Structure 1
Amino acid sequence: MRPGRQLAVLGLIFVVLYLLVFFSGGASGGWKDRLEPRLGLDLIGGTRLTLEATNSLDGKPPTRDNLEEARQIIESRVNAYGVAEAEVVTEGDRNIVISLPGENRDLTDVGSAAELRFRKVLKATDGSGATAAPAPAPTATPQPSGSATPQPSGSAAAQPSGSAAPKASASPAAGGQGGGAPAPSANPTPVASPSAPAATPSASAAPVPQGIEEQRKAVEQKVGAAAWAAASGLQAPADLTADPSLAEKLKPFGTLTPQEVAVLAPEMQFNVPTISCAQLDKRPAASIKDPKQQAVACEGGAAKYLLDVAKVEGTDVKDASAQLDQTSSWVVSLKFTGDGQNKWTELTRESFQNKGNGCDQSALGQGGNCRVAVVLDNNIVSSPEIQGVLTGDSQITGSFTSKDANDLASQLRYGALPVTFVPQEQQNVTATLGDSHLRAGLLAMGIGLALVIVYSFFYYRLLGSVIFLSLILSALLVFGALVFLGRQIGFTLTLAGIAGMIVSLGVAADSFVIYFERLKDEIREGRSPRSAVPRAWIRARRTIISANAITLMSAVVLYIVSVGVVKGFAFALGLATVLDLVVVFLFRHPIMTMFARTRAFLSPRVSGLGRALPARSAEPATTRNPRAKEA
């Protein structure tokens, strides 16, 4: 064989690996900083967040299956941050505890339900809580792009002007048939005008859960019978300037908490002008969870919308990704499922044609078409005007940063949570205990490595240098791989991972013993040391591969079936085992072939083959080879 080739390949692997360590994406700072692996929660501390789950507004605890499903989705969202070794565990029958390496991490978004709904905007009115309730008449100036595949985009941000009438402003880039956000109009049209159609029956006509009904009765008692009767009789947003006595009656609704507002019927939330967007925006999670009921939500903090039932949901989305559009703004691109695409096309056709005049004049865009609100949980992300029947994918636009767009895409990609959560406690976790454990783990690894090396030199002498150099090379490969994988896939080194690498020392030592003892057997059988080296390699190679394959399979199985830090142990053990095989084939056998050509290798005192070589030399020349004697 030509050992120089194998050694050259190994050298090339080292050069490529450490070039990636020092110069790949994510490498920054000084040389020392670039050599630092990503450490886990138990070594550097991190952030811990407790989420309390509730299945609905009635406060009932979630089922065990729903809680476990939510835990798995949250774990996927956390791992999508590019950080491994995150701990996501259930605690009791309501709580999920998230622990993530790195202090001051913002984990509040991972517990959001991410219930995506596409709802047609039926009506719009002032949501500032003012005494008058004129409705903004949104307009827009679309800029057609001539694109063959139109995509709706746009965002409306309603802002109150000097008068009581809020104005909406936006500057979207609409597709060829796509959307355009509403813009201000000089002549707002009051929703309470006689020509305004009455609200479509919705949630109030649907059966109300007993828990919600009890809370509504409590709200009725709080605001008083007169205020409740006045609110129940409204068929459209009231103009309180025309009836000061009505303004006084409805005033108690402005004192309700967001939790109390959430249990009211959608028509009451929309028609009562003293219920403001400040109250609606702070409603508990899952306040508008039911897709089969109409809902009320705000956009921009001042424009209050009555929304139709959800005809396209998050489950109709096949994939979501964060992208930069033509204006270098971050958007979330959506790909629908086959059935979801049909629903989306039908919704855009219905909105574009305004079938049955379902959209009030206040909800129409400049082109006279309905708008479709993209509703995430309780919030409206955007409400573009539909300017054509869309048969392709879509986009969610808004004032997104890169992080916001990627977080939203991750939430939509992994699906909505079956349970709603309220963040209870977020705190930083120190690594005081981890520091002492790290020192103890590194000390144990150093002692184990030292004992292996001392024993190797004592028992194998010159061959012990092969063991020493092999372990050093394996350690450098493992370290470089840990640093690189930490940046690329978020692998973090924990105490369990260090334990896996310590165990791998024993696996590596076994392969040395198998090879060297096989070499001694070959020499005892009558072969010269130089010819015994390749022969021993052929016979030991299969055993070494089998032993490492068993260890590797054990690590893979453990990684698949385990959770938490045990995955780190399995990953580190498997990685060290694979790299040990690389060193065996590209260093240990070639270097042994080179040693076999030296005089020192033939010396019993130097080579470590003392018991084999003297036994061979003491025999008569005619009997050194048993096969020759028999012949």
Structure 2
Amino acid sequence: MASKVGHPLRTLVAFFIVIAALYGLMAITKNWTPRLGLDLSGGTTITLTARNTTGKGGVSATSLEQARTIIQQRVDGLGVGESQVTTSGGNQIIVSAPNVQRDELIQQVGQTAELRFRAVYQQESTTPTSQPGNSATAGTGNAQGGSTPSAKASAGTGSASAGATASSTAKGNGRPGPALPTEPPAPPSPRPTAPGKGTPENKAVEWQPSQQDITDFASFTCPRDTQYYPDVSDQPLFTCNEAGTQKYLLGPTIIEGTHVTDANASIGQSGLGWQVNLSFDSTGSKQFEDATRALSQKQSPENAFAIVLDGTAVSVASVDQAIAGGSAMISGGGINQQSAQQLANVLKYGSLPLAFEISSVDTVSATLGGEQLQAGLIAGAVGLALVILFCFAYYRGLGVVVVASLTVAFATTYAMVVLLGASVGFALSLAGIAGAIVAIGITADSFVIYFARIRDEVGEGRGIRTAVETGWRRARQTILVADAVSLLSALILFILAIGSVKGFAFTLGLTTLIDIVVVFFFTKPLVTLLSRTKFYGNGHKFSGLDATHLGVTALPGGRRRAGTATRAATQTGGEA
């Protein structure tokens, strides 16, 4: 007998150890409350107005939808739950996201993410005329081959490090060049705004500036005025680092960012700083190796290349030999975890096919959602109270099983929602709370199925303890089928739905899985233990396992039995 009781008891102990472990993780991570969605906690809504990158022509529906998809991926890449990215009016995209800093969201959704690799011709220290805007990444850094251990481009290798100040006379060219004028700077010369007549990629490393380029660079100041100094792939680029403390004269594009196949953030091999790892396709790998081989033969600062994102030099690094293997790294220059992850996220999902202007940025209040949440919680509490009253009125002492099952299901669900919010950014919205309230019925329904099978087994002449076990074997299949239907519905809804409906589907699926765990590892073992007590096992009239509630004249083993029970007991020799 002791061994039979020990099995359900061990199951319950193991179950509560798992629950304790979940709350232990909450304590370790110091997360005790779930992340709330836009309708409950408020957030930021940004309206973007699209235009063609050329500035001419209309905005096609295909390009707008492609941009919406990329922005959605970027926002989701931040770990943001319950975000909504929708199109409006044929030329606008509206982004709504909870729990995200305003500037961080602007950087992610507004950045065009045009990535280019350009050779450095000149660089100078400078003082910005005004504070440049925030960007998604840190300032100037180093780069090195990701797959060739012998390839070196970081500081301390004997090559010029990124951000070095050029000579004031020859500007660090390492050879005689056109003299820079000392007269007051003239207005910049008009420059092409579209590619087509410049230097192709395979000749970009050999590019040399004209006298006009030298003159314009002398008068160029940070931050870059895109009207006079556009970012055109086959033309030279006048640009700055993100801090505005270095200005660069860069050659035409040697590698387009479209050849980058993957980007991810990681801690460098030294373990002291973050970096962004880039992988190229076959064409980009060959171009990168050829370019670094050619650059390594030049003198500082022309032995360096710049990684340019949306016209800004996010990293500049010197090289002293060819970098093969199709990989590169952006590192140094103050890149931290947040900036590295943001840059990797933007590059990973590609550049936007359109240019966008931020038309409005609004802070969404959670006042209305808070009122609706209060009403929803009141409705949920009333429904829960009615379920509990019904269970005690109909099942009597077995109502304790229902209440206990609902309690542990709530505790498990709460812990999972909190941990998922901290780990994957799941945000609980009003729709998600509705899905959690539905779980009350799912958990109670599982017990109703189980009790119905126990009643059928007793009606066939089995004793309570035997009926609890045989009834479970028959009930669990029905419970699994019912929960499988709920899971399938939640899965289909999650795949096909958008916005807050996804939150409802996710919560419904989560609570359904939790119901399976609770009914298998808590409800059934608890009923088994209770059936072995005198109060429940002997069918006390308030236990819920008495003859009246089980639909028999007397429990098997008593003096009187219903016709079916008597025959079944006679055939089996009776049961204690």
Q: Is the 8 A contact 2:44 2:361 kept in 1?
A: yes
Q: CA deviation at 1:274?
A: 8.4
Residue pairs, 1:331-342, within 5 angstroms? 331-342=275-286
Q: 2:136 is matched with which residue?
A: none
Cα contact 1:179–1:387 (8 A) shared by 2: no
Q: CA deviation at 1:59?
A: 4.1
CA apart distance, 1:410: 1.4
Amino acid at match of 2:541: R
Q: Which amino acid aligns with 1:46?
A: G
Q: Which amino acid aligns with 1:612?
A: L
Code of the aligned partner of 2:323 = L
Match of 1:348 in 2: 292
Structure 1 residue 549: Cα displacement: 1.2
C-alpha displacement of 1:508: 1.6
Q: Is 1:119–2:118 an aligned residue pair? A: yes
Q: Does residue 1:188 correspond to 2:162, yes or no?
A: no
SS of corresponding position for 1:114: coil
Q: Tell me what 1:570 maps to.
A: 505
Deviations 1:190-233 (A, max 9, x none): 799x974xxxxxxxxxxxxxxxxxxxxxxxxxxxxxxxxxxxxx
8 A Cα contact 2:152 2:319, kept in partner? no
2:28 is matched with which residue? 23
Q: Determine if contact 2:220/2:238 at 8 Å carries over to the other structure.
A: no
CA drift at 1:456: 0.6
Offset of residue 240 of structure 1: 5.9
Shift in Å at residue 270 of structure 1?
A: 3.4
Question: Which residues in structure 2 correspond to 1:154-193 (within 5 Å)?
Answer: 172-174=155-157, 180-181=161-162, 183-186=164-167, 188-189=169-170
In the alignment, the residues of structure 2 paired with residue 546 and residue 129 of structure 1 have an alpha-carbon distance, to the nearest angstrom, of 67
Q: 1:88 offset after TM fit, Å?
A: 1.7
Aligned to 1:213: none
* Aligned residue in 1 for 2:398: 463
Asked if the contact 2:80/2:99 (under 8 Å) is kept, the reply is: no
Hey, what does 2:237 align to over in structure 1? 295
Partner residue in 1 for 2:567: 626
Match of residue 206 from structure 2: none
Structure 1 103/181 Cα, relative in aligned 2: closer, same or farther at 3 Å? Answer: closer
Cα separation, 2, equivalents of 1:338 and 1:61: 35
Q: Provide the C-alpha distance between the structure 2 equivalents of 1:286 and 1:10, rounded to a whole number of angstroms.
A: 65
Spell out, residue by residue over 1:93-129, the C-alpha distance to the aligned partner (whole angstroms, 9 max, x if none). Answer: 2222221213743222112011111112345689889
- Counterpart of 1:68, as a letter, is E
Letter in 1 for 2:292: T
Could you say which residue in structure 2 is the equivalent of 1:208? none
Q: Once the 2 structures are TM-superposed, how far is the Cα of residue 332 of structure 1 from its aligned partner? A: 2.2
Q: Report SS of the residue matched to 1:527.
A: coil
Partner of 1:79: 76
1:152 lines up with 2:153 in the alignment: yes
* Deviation of the 1:307 alpha carbon: 1.6
Aligned to 1:511: 446
- Contact 1:51–1:422 under 8 Å retained in 2: yes
- Give SS of 2:118's match: strand
Q: Is the 8 A contact 2:254 2:287 kept in 1?
A: no
Cα drift, residue 302 of structure 1: 5.6
After superposition, what is the alpha-carbon deviation per residue over 1:125-160, rounded to whole angstroms, capped at 9, x for unaligned? 898899xxxxxxxxxxx99xxx9332434xxxxxxx
CA pair 337-152 structure 1, distance change in 2 beyond 3 A: farther
Partners of 2:282 and 2:194 in 1: how far apart?
35
- Mapped contact 1:129–1:273 kept (Cα < 8 A): no
How far did 1:551 drift? 0.6
Q: Which amino acid in 2 is paired with 1:608? A: G
Q: 1:630 to 1:531 in 2, by over 3 A?
A: closer
Change (3 A) 1:578 1:240: same
What letter is aligned with 2:418? V
CA deviation profile, 1:328-355 (whole Å, cap 9, x unmatched): 344323233343222210111122235x
Contact 1:118 1:373 in 2 (8 A): yes
My pick for the range that moved more, 58-67 or 495-504, is: 58-67
Q: Cα offset for 1:420? A: 2.1
| SS of equivalent residue, structure 2 residue 334 | strand
Give, in whole Å, the separation in 1 of the partners of 2:125 and 2:165: 13
Report the equivalent of 1:62. Answer: 59
CA change 1:129–1:483 in 2 (3 A) is: closer
Go from structure 1 to structure 2 and tell me whether the alpha carbon gap of 1:180 and 1:596 turns closer, same or farther (over 3 Å shift).
same
| 8 A contact 1:324–1:330 mirrored in 2 | yes
Amino acid corresponding to residue 35 of structure 2 in structure 1 = R
- Count of aligned pairs between the two proteins: 527
Shift, 1:498, TM fit: 0.3
Tell me the CA shift for residue 318 of structure 1: 2.5
Letter in 2 for 1:78: V
State TM-score, norm by structure 2: 0.82
Q: Would the aligned equivalents of 2:292 and 2:321 in 1 still touch at CA under 8 Å?
A: yes
- Offset of 1:263 from its aligned partner? 7.9
Q: Is contact 2:9-2:529 (8 Å) kept?
A: no
C-alpha distance in 1 between matches for 2:509 and 2:394: 28
**CA 1:191–1:574: 2 relative to 1, 3 Å:** closer
Alpha-carbon distance change, 467 to 278 in structure 1, aligned in 2, over 3 angstroms: same
1:8 Cα shift? 1.1
Cα distance in 2 for partners of 1:562, 1:285 equals 46
Task: Confirm or deny: 8 A CA contact 2:123 2:246 kept in the other structure.
Answer: no
Moved more, 597-606 or 470-479: 597-606
8 Å contact 1:320–1:333 — kept in the other structure?
Answer: yes
* CA distance, structure 2, for counterparts of residue 444 and residue 78 of structure 1: 33
Cα pair 1:285 1:420 within 8 Å, conserved:
no
Alpha-carbon offset, residue 422 of structure 1: 2.1
Aligned AA (2:238): V
Distance in 2 separating the partners of 1:498 and 1:516: 28
Task: Return the alpha-carbon distance in structure 2 between the equivalents of residues 54 and 286 of structure 1.
Answer: 19
| Match of residue 452 from structure 1 | 387
**Residue 539 of structure 2 is aligned to residue 603 of structure 1:** yes
SS at match of 2:286: helix
Q: Provide the rounded CA distance (Å) in 1 between the counterparts of 2:319 and 2:14.
A: 60
Aligned to 1:534: 469
The secondary structure found in structure 2 opposite 1:410 is helix
The separation in 1 between residues aligned to 2:354 and 2:211, in whole angstroms, is 27
Across the aligned residues of Structure 1 and Structure 2, the Cα RMSD in angstroms comes to 3.6
Q: Secondary structure at the match of 1:449?
A: helix
Q: Does 1:479 pair with 2:476?
A: no
Q: Distance in 2 between matches of 1:504 and 1:461?
A: 22
- Tell me the residue number matched to 1:223: none
Structure 1 pair 59–286 and aligned structure 2 pair: CA distance change class (3 A): farther
Distance 2:509 2:12 in 1: 23
- Is the contact made by 2:125 and 2:166 (CA closer than 8 Å) also made in structure 1? no
Q: Is the 8 A contact 1:281 1:301 kept in 2?
A: no
Tell me: CA distance 1:486–1:124, structure 2 relative to 1, closer, same or farther (3 Å): closer
Matched, 1:386 2:319: yes
Distance in structure 2 (CA, Å) of the matches to 1:587 and 1:126: 69
Deviation per CA, 1:456-498, whole angstroms, max 9, x where unpaired? 1111111111111100110011011111111111111110110
> Counterparts of 1:576 and 1:190 in 2: how far apart (Å)?
66
Q: Distance in 1 between matches of 2:563 and 2:128?
A: 111
The equivalent of 1:218 in structure 2 is none
Task: Find the partner of 1:316 among 242, 254, 260.
Answer: 260
C-alpha distance in 2 between matches for 1:395 and 1:59: 36
Alpha carbons of 1:268 and 1:529: their partners in 2 closer, same or farther (altered >3 Å)?
A: farther
CA distance in 1: counterparts of 2:128 and 2:43, whole angstroms: 42
Which segments of 5 or more consecutive residues in structure 2 lack a partner in the other structure? 130-142, 199-209
Match of 1:133 in 2: none
Q: Please state how far the C-alpha of 1:298 moved relative to its aligned partner.
A: 3.4
2:134 corresponds in structure 1 to none
Three-state SS of the structure 2 residue aligned to 1:447 is: helix
